[in-house]
């Protein structure tokens, strides 16, 4: 935070204050915690800076905090007066919002990977066609040189796209792991996927593109043809790697969705058990409240049924779907 304070008397002190406002614990929701902000007591006008890491206190999806600054003047004659900034809100996305964001990001990454595979295949064909044209040529015309430059540009664009996919996947994984506990097997697969992304564009491939670019100035037809063959083979390898990455990404997406759904069912089961116990002990006066709680749990379960449909859909998208039994009867 950066701000400005002014007062004719100077300042006695300043604090940064925050409190959780969506907590079931009424004591923590009522009392604000404070951090002292370093300021000068003698300067009547000054900028202040304050750093606070909300991830220390906001540890669960949906956590919401109210925060504000307070400052006291240094009026020793009339007594210190306090001034407060406007109240502001810091809120973590809820579990549902995080899931929606992850789902959107997953679809985007899968679409980009699929398109990159198509681009790599097309580039192989373009390189082969161009190389055939070179066979009976003694030298390259200006138009052919431009075609070759266009092919190189497409290759570099493909490289940039892959780098962006890698970056998006890493950011998504980092955010996911902040607020949800994944099992060891999923974490290993995440690590394997990141490693595969890092290996997509090898140093040898990058060096190859640079050599072809340098040869454009010398117009050595024979060497360019040789390089184009290598470039075609590199793109064939790239296509295979992209295909492997896409399949591993889909498998990881399926397993995470399955685990999340299992956790939701376990949690809902506990809530249902508690409500059942409450119902057994209740009197008729509380029946409306218990009924509304049961309706809320029923609504949650309908969302879980949608999650189970999504799990099955993701499974069917795999090259080798996992053997999942039908759960309709158990759901009912």
pLDDT in tens, 86-130: 999 999 888 888 888 889 999 999 999 999 999 999 988 998 888
pLDDT of residue 26: 46
276: tokens are 């059942």
Q: How far apart are the first and last CA of the chain?
A: 53
Where residue 143 falls among pLDDT bands split at 50, 70, 90?
A: confident
Whether 237 shows a pLDDT value over 80: the answer reads yes
3-state SS, the chain, equals: CEEEEECCCCEEEEEEEEEECCCCCHHHHHCCEEEECCCCCCCCEEEEECCCCHHHCCCCCCCEEEEEEEEEECCCCCCCCEEECCCEEEECCCHHHHHHHHHHHHHHHHHHHHHHHHHHHHHHHHHHHHHHHHCCCCCCCHHHHHHHHHHHHHHHHHHHHHHHHHHHHHHHHHHHHHHCCCCHHHHHHHHHHHHHHHCCCCHHHHHHHHHHHHHHHHCCHHHHHHHHHHHHHHHHHHHHHHHHHHHHHHHHHHHHHHHHHHHHHHHHHHHHHHHHHHHHHCCHHHHHHHHHHHHHHHHHHHHHHHHHHHHHHHHHCCCCCCCCCCCHHHHC
- 0.75 cut: is pTM over it? no
For residues 281-287, give the mean pLDDT: 70
The fraction of the chain above a pLDDT of 70, given in percent, is 90
Residue with the bigger pLDDT between 215 and 165: it is 165
pLDDT of residue 220: 61
């Amino acid at each position: 935070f950066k701000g400005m304070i002014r007062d004719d008397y100077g300042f006695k002190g300043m604090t940064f204050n925050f409190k959780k406002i969506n907590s079931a614990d009424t004591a923590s929701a009522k009392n604000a915690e404070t951090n002292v902000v370093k300021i000068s007591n003698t300067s009547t006008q000054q900028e202040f800076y304050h750093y606070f890491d909300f991830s220390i206190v906001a540890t669960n999806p949906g956590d919401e905090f109210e925060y504000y600054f307070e400052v006291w003047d240094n009026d020793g004659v009339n007594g210190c007066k306090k001034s407060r900034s406007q109240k502001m809100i810091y809120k973590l996305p809820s579990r549902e919002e995080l899931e929606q964001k992850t789902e959107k990001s997953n679809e985007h990454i899968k679409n980009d990977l699929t398109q990159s595979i198509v681009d790599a295949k097309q580039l192989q064909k373009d390189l082969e066609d161009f190389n055939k044209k070179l066979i009976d040529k003694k030298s390259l015309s200006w138009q052919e040189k431009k075609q070759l430059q266009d092919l190189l540009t497409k290759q570099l664009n493909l490289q940039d796209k892959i780098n962006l996919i890698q970056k998006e996947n890493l950011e998504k994984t980092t955010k996911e792991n902040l607020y949800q506990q994944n099992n060891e097997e999923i974490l290993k697969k995440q690590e394997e996927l990141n490693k595969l992304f890092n290996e997509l564009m090898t140093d040898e491939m990058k060096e190859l593109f640079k050599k072809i670019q340098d040869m454009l100035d010398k117009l050595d037809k024979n060497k360019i043809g040789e390089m184009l063959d290598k470039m075609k083979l590199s793109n064939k390898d790239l296509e295979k790697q992209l295909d492997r990455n896409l399949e591993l990404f889909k498998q990881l997406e399926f397993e995470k969705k399955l685990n999340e759904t299992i956790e939701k069912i376990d949690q809902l089961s506990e809530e249902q058990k508690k409500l059942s116990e409450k119902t057994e002990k209740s009197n008729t006066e509380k029946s409306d409240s218990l009924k509304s709680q049961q309706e809320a749990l029923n609504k949650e379960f309908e969302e879980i049924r949608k999650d189970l449909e999504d799990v099955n859909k993701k499974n069917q998208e795999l090259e080798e779907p996992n053997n999942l039994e039908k759960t309709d009867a158990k759901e009912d």
